[in-house]
């Protein structure tokens, strides 16, 4: 197994893009500087390098990691809007594999991709094609607020900690543990082009982001909520999104197929 202790190593692995390399690259992103066996100037520059590397490598890494573990998908994100957000930041996961998946094994972080922030997800046992929504660092009252705005959504829970999501661009990493070197089970990234679009960000199986569109893939309009930055004359606004919407069986098959096709292209 190759050793990854520098950005140069990481770039080689990303170019090679084997699933083993991808797992190591994800692991490298999660390493604190002190664990990277760096010396001299590189050690001094590690924090700066890590920040820069995260910016440059996040999108490439996300695409590759998504291929490596394509059965659990991050399918939708709401990072907030200017002014009042209505709800906490949230993301939706969908299980597309066989059997069931327990979200309680997962730990969340934002683009800093650090499993040691120790932000566990609530446990929902998902059957194939089922989704769950996680509010970032909310509480029971935040879930009630979410349901008031989005209506009856199944499997709404909390990701207890980790970084908040910025509408100006961020990432979501889900790990299988809370120690350095935990594996990335799913991840997505998005840029600031979706900020204040009036819709959530939805992701296909390859991790490509787009704005939710009314009536497409179950997207609907939320209830109105207060926002005196970009709300209308009455300072009220609504959003388009599809939190918790379970795709039709055909759509699940397509999600799975998308992952397979993406995997083949990379070989
Ligand atoms: Ca936010
Ligand atoms: Ca806001
Ligand atoms: Ca963030
Ligand atoms: Ca959705």
Q: Which helix (H) or strand (E) holds 266?
A: helix 249-266
Domain ranges of the chain: 7-64, 70-266
**pLDDT tens across the length of the chain (267 residues):** 345 555 455 444 443 433 444 444 555 555 555 665 555 666 555 555 555 455 445 544 444 444 335 699 999 999 999 999 999 999 999 999 999 999 999 999 999 999 999 999 999 999 999 999 999 999 999 999 999 999 999 999 999 999 999 999 999 999 999 999 999 999 999 999 999 999 999 999 999 999 999 999 999 999 999 999 999 999 999 999 999 986 555 554 445 443 333 333 333
> How many whole angstroms separate alpha carbon 52 and alpha carbon 130?
36
Distance from Cα 40 to the centre of ligand 3, integer Å:
30
Distance from Cα 239 to the centre of ligand 2, integer Å:
13
pLDDT of residue 217: 93
Burial (CB < 10 A; 0-12, 13-18, 19+), residue 48, is exposed
Say which ligand is closest to the CA of 74: 4
Say which ligand is closest to the CA of 163: 3
Nearest to 166 by CA among 134, 193, 131, 203: 193
Residue 118 phi/psi, 5-degree rounding, is 60, 60
Give the CATH superfamily of 70-266.
Lamin Tail domain (2.60.40.1260)
Residues whose Cβ atom is located within 5 A of ion ligand 2 = 80, 85
Say which ligand is closest to the CA of 217: 4
Residue 106 phi/psi, 5-degree rounding, is -95, 150
Please check whether residue 203 is in contact with residue 73, taking contact to mean a CB–CB distance below 8 angstroms. Answer: yes
> How many whole angstroms separate alpha carbon 117 and alpha carbon 158?
15
Please check whether residue 211 is in contact with residue 111, taking contact to mean a CB–CB distance below 8 angstroms. Answer: no
Say which ligand is closest to the CA of 78: 1
Please check whether residue 151 is in contact with residue 91, taking contact to mean a CB–CB distance below 8 angstroms. Answer: no
Pull the structure tokens for residue 154.
Answer: 């199944």
> DSSP assignment, residue 222?
P
Residues whose Cβ atom is located within 5 A of ion ligand 3 = 110, 163, 166, 170
Distance from Cα 192 to the centre of ligand 1, integer Å:
12
Distance from Cα 216 to the centre of ligand 1, integer Å:
24
Distance from Cα 240 to the centre of ligand 3, integer Å:
22
Q: What is the pTM of this model?
A: 0.71
Can you list the alpha helix ranges (DSSP code H) found in 19-75? 19-30, 40-44, 46-68
């Amino acid at each position: 197994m190759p050793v990854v202790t520098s950005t140069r190593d990481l770039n080689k692995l990303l170019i090679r893009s084997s699933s083993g390399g991808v797992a190591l690259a994800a692991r490298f992103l999660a390493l604190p500087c002190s664990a990277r066996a760096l010396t001299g100037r590189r050690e001094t520059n590690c924090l700066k390098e890590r920040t820069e590397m995260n910016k440059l490598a996040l999108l490439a890494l996300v695409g590759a990691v998504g291929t490596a573990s394509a059965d659990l998908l991050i399918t939708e994100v709401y990072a907030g809007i200017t002014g009042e957000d209505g709800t906490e930041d949230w993301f939706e996961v969908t299980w597309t594999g066989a059997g069931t998946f327990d979200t309680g094994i997962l730990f969340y972080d934002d683009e800093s991709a650090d499993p040691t922030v120790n932000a566990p997800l609530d446990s929902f046992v998902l059957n194939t094609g089922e989704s769950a929504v996680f509010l970032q660092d909310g509480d029971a009252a935040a879930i009630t607020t979410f349901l008031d705005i989005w209506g009856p959504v199944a499997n709404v829970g909390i990701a207890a900690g980790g970084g908040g999501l910025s509408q100006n661009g961020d990432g979501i990493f889900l790990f299988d543990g809370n120690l350095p070197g935990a594996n990335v089970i799913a991840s997505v990234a998005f840029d600031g082009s979706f900020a204040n679009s009036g819709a959530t960000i939805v992701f296909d199986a390859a991790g490509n982001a787009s704005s939710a569109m009314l009536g497409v893939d179950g997207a609907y309009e939320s209830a109105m909520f207060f926002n005196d930055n970009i709300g209308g004359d009455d300072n009220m606004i609504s959003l388009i999104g599809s939190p918790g919407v379970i795709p039709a069986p055909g759509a699940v098959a397509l999600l799975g197929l998308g992952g397979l096709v993406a995997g083949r292209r990379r070989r």
